[in-house]
Amino acid sequence: MRHVPQLINLFATLILMLSFAMISQRRIVSLINLFMVQGAALVVTSFLLAYVAHQPDLYVSGALTLVLKVMFIPWMLHRVIRQLNVKWDVETLFNIPTTMLVGIALVIFAFSLALPVSRLSDSIAGGSLGIALACVFLSFMMMITRSKAVPQVIGFLSMENGLIFAATTVTNGMPMIVEFGIALDVLVGVLILGVFMFQIREKFDSLDIHHLEALKEVTR
């Protein structure tokens, strides 16, 4: 029991390291696999918190994350990139060293921002708020520095992982109706984004969203 908080901090650190790996990853298949591992770490963290805090709702939250983030969504993304024949290499706005430096700056900013709130939290893993906020910032940076639709979808899903991790660690769990609402929103959002990617591919024979800017210029 007394070693569980250390295990939670260990998996929280793993989630942060996976976020760093994702922003520096140029291969879409590897990016999807990293997202799947991040989801698995989030599942273990939810189960550990459920055990320590005696919150059965967190077991349901972990199970939902396992089904959606570890099984269904990675399987669907792998299927989409096979059908669309997406290129393996992902173009980024910045080079890898610059991206990592910006990521480090975002992590420092996130910990500085979360420190006052962490001191007020009485949760077992309240100190992990800085890690959760850093994951959100890193995922948002991945969304805005990638020009392909698939990495942007993964960035959105990873950002949602960070938000759930923040909610579970700081408050020892969210109400069940909120958990189901988030799971439904994520599922519907991924399905819509999948249709969106197929439409881009059909019209432009590419998943580069810069083609949408060209379409906008044509319609003027």
Please, is 134 exposed, middle or buried when counting C-beta atoms within 10 Å of its C-beta (0-12, 13-18, 19+)? Answer: buried
Q: pLDDT tens across 159-204, in order?
A: 888 888 887 777 665 554 455 555 556 666 666 566 555 555 555 4
**β partners of residue 92:** 146
Q: What is the pLDDT of residues 48-95, one digit of tens each?
A: 888 887 878 788 888 888 888 899 888 888 887 787 776 555 667 778
User: Positive or negative, the Cα torsion across 23, 189, 42, 75?
Assistant: negative
What percent of the chain lies above the pLDDT cut of 90?
10
Greater model confidence, 180 or 96: 96
The residues pairing with 89 across neighbouring beta strands, listed in sequence order, are 27
Distance CA 97, CA 101 (A): 6
Indicate the domain borders of the chain: 4-219
| Residues 6 or more apart in contact with residue 72 via CB below 8 angstroms | 187
Q: Name 143's Cβ contacts closer than 8 Å, sequence gap at least 6.
A: 152, 155, 156, 159
Is the per-residue pLDDT at 133 higher than 90?
Answer: no
The whole-model pTM stands at: 0.78
- What distance in Å separates the CA atoms of residue 201 and residue 199, rounded to the nearest whole number? 5
Do 169 and 129 meet the contact criterion of CB atoms below 8 Å apart?
yes
Q: Residues 19-55: pLDDT tens digits? A: 989 988 888 888 889 999 999 999 998 888 888 878 7
As a whole number of angstroms, the distance between CA 61 and CA 48 comes to 12
